[in-house]
Amino acid sequence: MPIRPQYRWLYPIDWPQLSAMIRFERAKGRCECRGECGATPHDADAGGRCTAVHDQPHPLTGSNVVLTTAHRDHTPENVDPANLRAYCNRCHLSHDAKEHRRNASHTRAMRAAGDAPPLFPEPPRGTPS
């Protein structure tokens, strides 16, 4: 699913390249989550890191892993690599659970596209917690 035009400004024009760089160059196709997504369990033998690998069966769910790029602070315009994480489907969904409850279209977009930057129906939150 393409980025909806009205939200296009939230993303750098090279988002697809940036996302691919994070997922396949930095993360080497492996989920970068170390448990911060909140889902359990993560593999203690791997230092707590999720052991999901792109295009391989997920170690826990058995479904094919599609790595996605998540914004740790849920702020789509914050594309600092330190704010980006390559997450497997499971970790990304867990990571974004609060956002998903607020924005079901994100979930649909993720499922439809396999990899889509987060879409938000409204401008990023203006009140930092």
Q: Of 10, 33, 84, 119, which one interacts with Zn ion (CB under 5 A)?
A: 33
Structure tokens at 46: 């791997």
ω before 117 within 30° of 0 (cis)?
no
Told to check if 52 binds Zn ion by CB under 5 A, we report: yes
**Does residue 110 bind Zn ion (CB under 5 A)?**
no
Cβ nearer to Zn ion, comparing 3 with 116: 116
For position 27 contacting Zn ion by CB under 5 A, the verdict is no
Pick the stretch among 10-18, 21-29, 75-83, 89-97 that binds Zn ion (CB under 5 A): 89-97
Residue 53 pairs with which residues in a beta bridge?
30
Q: Do residues 93 and 100 make contact, with C-beta atoms less than 8 angstroms apart?
A: yes
Report the candidate in 100, 40, 105, 96 with the shortest Cα–Cα distance to residue 73.
96
Q: Choose between 27 and 50: whose C-beta lies nearer to Zn ion.
A: 50
* Among 88, 109, 110, 116, interactor with Zn ion by CB under 5 A: 88
The DSSP letter of residue 110 is H
Q: Which of 37, 86, 93, 116 binds Zn ion (CB under 5 A)?
A: 37
The verdict on 67 binding Zn ion (CB under 5 A) reads no
For 87-119, the DSSP string reads: E-HHHHHHHTHHHHHH-HHHHHHHHHHSS----
Which parts of this chain interact with Zn ion (CB under 5 A)? 31, 33, 37, 39, 50, 52, 88, 91
